[in-house]
Amino acid sequence: MDREWYDRNYPKYEDMRMQAKKDGNRLRYHLMPPAGWMNDPNGLCQFQGVYHIYFQYTPFLAGWGTKIWGHYTTRDWVHFREEEPFLFPDCVWDRDGVYSGCAFEKDGEIHYFYTGNVKLSDRQYDYIREGREQNTIHVKSSDGMTAQAKQLVLSHADYPKDMTKHVRDPKVFAKHGNCYLLLGARDKEDRGCALLFCSKDLEHWSYVQRIAPQEYFGYMWECPDLFTLNGKTFLLACPQGLPKKEHCCQNVYQCGCFTAKQDSQKGTYTLGEFKELDKGFDFYAAQTFEDEYGRRILLAWMGMPDAEYDNDVTACEGWIHALTMPRVLTVTDGKLLQNPLKEMEQLRRNKRHTTLRAFVCQETKDCCFELHLEFLEHARAMTLWLREDVMLGYQDGVLALCLGKSGCGRRKRTVCLKELRSFTVFSDTSSVEVFINGGEETMTTRVYSESLEQKVWFSDTDADAQVQWYDLDGYKMQWKLCK
């Protein structure tokens, strides 16, 4: 699907876009595809004041298909513009999809690195060990809107010999005057890892190291990312194939973060503990960037590949999936915290304030609210009921998020806490994001309620709390017009 093909076919899908935009499950303050399919956030950056949010996108199909890079921009995280798609599969290195990648600013230009996916179809392949190419491609832009010529910088000949054909999702970062590039990979013994390369000019990359724990940690890693915050280094990755445990790794794939240490002589990294970034049902392929204010911002795909639960209700209306709210990352006492970006406060309307004991069942008209609760005393048990059949319950050090029919197969996710001090629930038409204990834990999930007029109430709660509550407005979207 090159740009010309896209332009020619775009008008034919006007009905699909109209249908998608009318759907009652459309989110108000989350980014979704105009129509079709969205997955990973890509190329996140702020350039000359403008935030660019690119994403994996199949514009004409609400299902898995050939990926292009869709594109939104914003200056304030309230007003968003749908831009023309930024990258298309249009050369031999990426003909079956422009896969995930990053943006890196240098000398007044944005440098993008992404994976060009090529699937051979001349005969039967397993597409793991053979039959596929995953090329690392470099593209520059002076404005974030128009891409210059593509340049192949790494291909399988440059990856270590013991890798399968699954090597993808470049992330570039600078450290001590060098540029580094990370790739997610699967080796021939089915062990997941990240591969580290180094460059001085962003064109010639030399292999540095394979980063992985000593012990097996899944068969494949996707979407790695590495950054240092408050003197602590973290490696984000999405390992596939970790065993399920009682309160950990409950999803089919994980999206989490290792603590990492760099050897200052060799530049190599060793990994410490791994922690899931989110304990809900729908959180994957997180990507971070530093904005012009020095904030480390994270967005993730609010979805989960190959999950046993579904999103068919929106796929039937011509669209599927969304991104999480933007989250700012901070480090306190060595812990990585995620909290909603401050700009989200601009969406607040109609503040209400009470205590938990005085809280009487609240009616919500449209499910778009923010509910913040801060315990005034040690809590041993609490149950919050919201939407049709969603329950957030705390008991004996375990917080559980339980969904009924509106979960479309999503039943229960849990997280262990030393104590429950506070939480904030962000409810949107078809999603719930919970930030717990100042962002130490989060739980993100899609939910498909039949009616948006609902009640919120507490039960079985043994401690009092301050409760704050706001209605939330939606993003102001400026959609592209049909040419």
Q: Which parts of this chain interact with ligand FRU (CB under 6 A)? A: 39-40, 56, 67, 99-100, 115, 168-169, 222-223, 284-285, 305
Q: Which is nearer to ligand FRU, 288 or 454 (CB)?
A: 288
Shortest Cβ 28–ligand FRU spacing (Å): 24
Cβ of residue 56: shortest distance to ligand FRU, in angstroms? 4
3-state secondary structure the chain: CCHHHHHHHHHHHHHHHHHHHHCCCCCCCCCCCCCEEEEEEEEEEEECCEEEEEEEEECCCCCCCCCEEEEEEECCCCEEEECCCCECCCCCCCCCCEEEEEEEEECCEEEEEEEEEEECCCCCCCCCCCCEEEEEEEEEECCCCCCCCCEEEECHHHCCCCEEEEEEEEEEEEECCEEEEEEEEEECCCCEEEEEEEECCCCCCEEEEEECCCCCCCCEEEEEEEEEECCEEEEEEEEECCCCCCCCCCCCECCEEEEEEECCCCCCEEEEEEEECCCCCCCEEEEEEECCCCCEEEEEECCCCCCCCCCHHHHCCCEECCECCCEEEEEECCEEEEEECHHHHHHEEEEEEEECCCCCCEEECCCCEEEEEEECCCCCEEEEEECCCEEEEEECCEEEEEECHHHCCCCEEEEECCCCCEEEEEEECCEEEEEEHHHCEEEEEECCCCCCCEEEEEECCCCCEEEEEEEECCCEEECCCCC
Residues designated catalytic: 40
Name the minimum Å distance from CB 218 to ligand FRU: 13
Minimum distance, C-beta of residue 117 to ligand FRU, in the bound complex (Å): 7
- Closest CB to ligand FRU among residues 42, 364: 42
Shortest gap between Cβ of 252 and ligand FRU (angstroms)? Answer: 12
Residue placing its CB nearer to ligand FRU in the complex, 286 or 384: 286
Of 99 and 217, nearer to ligand FRU (C-beta) is: 99
* Residue number, 237 or 336, with CB nearest to ligand FRU: 237
